[in-house]
Amino acid sequence: MSTDSPGEQPSIADENALKIASESLTHYDAAADTYHCSYGPPQPAVTVPDAEREVLVRVEPASGQVIGFSIPNFKAWHATHAEEDGTFEVELPSMWDLSGGETPEQG
């Protein structure tokens, strides 16, 4: 039960972010030094490099929905991007334009 007043309800984007976080599956492949995160069960996807965030984004090709990401060379990436306590965040848009346009804005 929420204690928010009716005018302060979470947005749909906030609700989706919480759902994605609760359904995320993560795995670190030590042999390949690659961190993987899937939003929900793994499914077929195309992989798009995101040079700005230095990650590989997995996108469901029919809908353009972002369904996960991988971070190659994770130890080096982590040393550069993690907080002092070792935590890190990768903020990605929920949808990705596969038409060949520019990298989508964070949303």
Sheet containing 66-71: order of strands: 24-29, 34-39, 66-71, 55-59, 46-50
**Is pLDDT above 50 for 12?**
yes
Task: Give the residue carrying structure tokens 């993987």.
Answer: 36
Task: Give the residue carrying structure tokens 């949808």.
Answer: 95
Task: Give the residue carrying structure tokens 């996108």.
Answer: 59
Write down the domain spans for the chain: 26-81
The pLDDT value recorded for residue 99 is: 85
pLDDT one-digit tens code per residue, 29-65: 999 999 999 988 878 999 999 999 999 999 999 999 9
The pLDDT value recorded for residue 40 is: 84
